[in-house]
Amino acid sequence: MGAGSVKVVGERSKMLGGKKVLLVTDPGMVQCGILDIVKGYLEEAGLKTVLFDGVEPNPKDKNIAAGLKVYKEEKCDMIVTVGGGSAHDCGKGIGIMGSHPGNIYDYAGIETLTNDLPPVVCVNTTAGTASEVTRHCVVTNTDLNVKFVVVSSKNTPSLSINDPELMVKKPAGLTAATGMDALTHAVECYVSLGANPVTDACAIQSIKLISKYLRLAVANGENLEARENMAYASLLAGMAFNNGGLGYVHAMAHQLGGFYDMAHGVANAILLPHVERYNMISNLEKFANIAEFMGENIQGLSLRDASVKAIDAIAQLSQDVGIPSGLAQFKVNPDSFEKMAQYALKDGNAGSNPIKGTEKDIIKIFEAAM
């Protein structure tokens, strides 16, 4: 971590034993020159590189298939991803299918992988998904328009690099969306059924950092202090949910990504206050704590009133950084709520939500978020 840390990507990757790297990224990383920076350090260390720049937002099964074809044809033995969560998840997916038979859908679920992946190195350029340090690989099934998750310790990257200098040119909208994704990770994990003192410590610090630095990073993308602290916040939130789980925000956001190709961070940001208002009664004390972590004055308030302040603070932060206010702006059709609710309850993240809801509950939350 830290400014300039990308410089070690070549020497550290070489230590992992690979000789020919598949660089997994998107066209934007190529155009802005970040890909060339990473490629230069890899080749300087004596590693051969092959480019696959076919990653799309909400990475698709077809992206993984296309990348796997290049990986096999070029006889690569290592994967280096450059970008945000889409690149990292696509790279993990290529690694899964490069080391396992069958179809990637066969491995949806928790700890389904039996073989080790090739070394995966993640050079992270956004402060949001934390995919660079987690065991999660999220993929869109293009036949069903559904996102599914492969959760396995074997997915955990061998090396991750968070260099805030690679993040300074990111546009305000992307900074806001990815930052709210990180906040969603921290909040969902803090109130999840899988939360424990270790995950709480990470989530609490993440919430505090995001509350302090996200507005600054959105206002001035070249504020290196804000960028670095958002990178830490994202990483901490990833460490939290990688061990403590998430909840209905992610379970529902995955459906918006699958059905409507919505940006994941934006979907999370719109859903977060509505889901947590629904979850609030499960742990008023923790929600009151969230309000305090976000800088709200809760002195003299009842636990319930303090908890409401947490929901309001989340919504205010989202509004301040320019997140759209509702799903209607994305032409989300209420006719899809029933099917999305069914899929959401089957999503791997639903099991750790602090309240066990019904299909009707999920539909009502979608309706409230319109």
Share of the chain above pLDDT 90, in %: 93
Please name every residue paired with 162 in a beta bridge, in sequence order, or none if there are none. Answer: 124
Q: Does position 361 have pLDDT exceeding 90, yes or no? A: yes
Average of pLDDT values for 123-141?
93
Q: Does position 80 have pLDDT exceeding 90, yes or no? A: yes
Q: In the structure, what pLDDT confidence band is assigned to residue 147 with cuts at 50, 70 and 90? A: confident
Report the range of poorest mean pLDDT among 140-149, 217-226, 273-282. Answer: 140-149
User: For residue 145, what pLDDT is reported?
Assistant: 84
Give CA–CA dist 327/334, Å, rounded. Answer: 10
Tokens linked to 235: 């990483």
Tokens linked to 288: 């009151």
CATH of 172-368, one of 1.20.1090.10, 3.40.50.970, 3.30.420.40, 1.20.58.220: 1.20.1090.10
Average of pLDDT values for 197-204?
98
Query: Where do the structural domains in the chain lie, given as residue ranges?
Result: 5-166, 172-368
Q: Does position 144 have pLDDT exceeding 90, yes or no? A: no
Average of pLDDT values for 230-246?
96
Q: Does position 148 have pLDDT exceeding 90, yes or no? A: no
Q: Does position 193 have pLDDT exceeding 90, yes or no? A: yes
Task: Tell me the residue type at 357.
Answer: G
Q: Work out whether the CA dihedral 239, 242, 245, 248 comes out positive or negative.
A: positive
Share of the chain above pLDDT 70, in %: 100
Give CA–CA dist 49/20, Å, rounded. Answer: 6
Among candidate residues 312, 309, 280, the one with its CA nearest the CA of residue 297: 309
Average of pLDDT values for 32-40?
95
User: For residue 137, what pLDDT is reported?
Assistant: 95
User: For residue 29, what pLDDT is reported?
Assistant: 93
Q: Does position 146 have pLDDT exceeding 90, yes or no? A: no
Tokens 């450059």 -> residue: 82
User: For residue 58, what pLDDT is reported?
Assistant: 87
Among candidate residues 89, 1, 78, the one with its CA nearest the CA of residue 46: 78
Among candidate residues 105, 110, 70, 63, the one with its CA nearest the CA of residue 87: 63
Average of pLDDT values for 185-189?
98
Question: 5-166 adopts what CATH topology?
Answer: Rossmann fold (3.40.50)
Q: What is the pTM of this model?
A: 0.93
Give CA–CA dist 271/340, Å, rounded. Answer: 14
Q: In the structure, what pLDDT confidence band is assigned to residue 295 with cuts at 50, 70 and 90? A: very high
